[in-house]
Amino acid sequence: MGFDKNNYKKGVMSGVISAISWGADTVLMGFILAMTPFVKTQEAILLAPIITAFLHDSFSTIWTFIYLGLRKQLGNFFKAVKSKSALWVAFGALLGGPVGMTGYLLSVKYIGPSYTAIISSLYPAVGAILAMIVLKEKINKKGWIGLVVAIIGVSVLGYTSASGSTNPIGFLFALLCVVGWGSECVICAYGMKGDEVTSEFALQIRQFTSAVTYGFLIVPIVGGIGLSFDILRNGVIFWIAGTALAATVSYLFYYTAIYKIGATRAMGINITYVVWSIIFDKIFLGSQIGLLTVLSSILVIGGVYFVAKEPTPEKLK
């Protein structure tokens, strides 16, 4: 089959919508983590990111299940779950959820949504390198130069984070997120290479795997069961459910972009969520955005762009 221009445009638009909705999700999560139930005790402060990630992905699982039900795709979904491709998607989910999302929310907690968005936007560079190995996508000289530029941008931001009022540990959590998300995209793209698992099915598998891992493994280990039930009885749960809906929209379009235009280009478009996070952070939370933050974000986005635009044309056929 030849290159489908309309399909490519749909993939690009899906990536853009994903970025906008994830920018909103980032700022909303920062707002939620500052609410009373998560800051009333020192224990709650420490557990807040993990509990929020668990509830966030759990609600997203429900939203996705409802979406598949409305589209009358549940029967096909349960058939797809039995395939080998589904196992690859589930593996990617572990890296993207319990690893990547936990690092992401811990970073939002310690250094705020704007810094987190900028640093985590480096994940397409990691993903591009993995895509070169796993999916046989190539990176040329401009791509490697872009990777260096992106790393410089993140390093500058990390330095200002460590020397300012923010907690430097948040920078490390953001890097954990980078590794998790970069790995997730490539592994899920590998799982969606066949026809068994569509982008919508992949999202359901991803969120369910993440929610179950949090609920039955991570939350009990960190002693967060009690706080989880407290949150379920608190009005903040409606904020989490609403934010999870924004995340579901983001992931749905993100996985669609991966399915239609490939992992590397999907990641390259998706990183524009950094810009939207900064805009939403400024508008709704009134955060001050310094010149160095803006310049660092430009370096990261510009550098990752050259990495993410490098798949060979054959990958889109």
Residue-wise pLDDT tens digits, 150-193: 778 777 766 665 555 567 788 889 899 999 988 988 888 888 88
Contact 282, 112 (CB under 8 A): no
* Confidence (pTM): 0.80
Q: What is the pLDDT of residue 180?
A: 93
Q: What domain range is 218 assigned to?
A: 5-316
CA dist 191 and 210 (Å) reads: 16
Q: Which of 92, 131, 99, 123 is nearest to 22 (CA)?
A: 123
CA dist 28 and 21 (Å) reads: 11
Length in residues, the chain: 317
| Rg, C-alpha atoms of the chain | 19
Q: What is the pLDDT of residue 211?
A: 93
On the CB side of 271, CA atoms within 13 Å amount to: 34
Crossing angle (nearest 10°) for helices 273-280 and 102-120 = 100
On the CB side of 178, CA atoms within 13 Å amount to: 24
Whether 29 shows a pLDDT value over 90: the answer reads no
- Structure-block tokens of residue 129: 């390198």
- The full DSSP string for 167-234 is -THHHHHHHHHHHHHHHHHHHHHHHTSSSSS-HHHHHHHHHHHHHHHIIIIIHHHHT-HHHHHHHHTS
Crossing angle (nearest 10°) for helices 123-134 and 263-270 = 180
CA dist 108 and 273 (Å) reads: 14
Contact 107, 285 (CB under 8 A): no
Crossing angle (nearest 10°) for helices 225-232 and 236-261 = 100
Residue 165 neighbours by CB distance under 10 Å: 7
Total of domains in the chain = 1
What is the tens place of the pLDDT at every residue in 69-124? 999 999 999 999 988 889 999 999 899 888 988 888 888 888 887 778 778 878 88
| CA 49 from centroid of its chain's CA atoms | 15
CA dist 14 and 251 (Å) reads: 10
**Confidence at 317, pLDDT banded by 50, 70, 90:** very low
Residue appearing with tokens 């579901």: 248
What is the tens place of the pLDDT at every residue in 228-285? 999 999 999 999 999 999 999 999 999 888 888 777 778 878 877 877 887 888 787 7
| CA 205 from centroid of its chain's CA atoms | 15
**Confidence at 129, pLDDT banded by 50, 70, 90:** confident
Across the range 289-313, mean pLDDT stands at: 71
CA dist 97 and 103 (Å) reads: 9
What is the tens place of the pLDDT at every residue in 181-194? 889 888 888 888 87
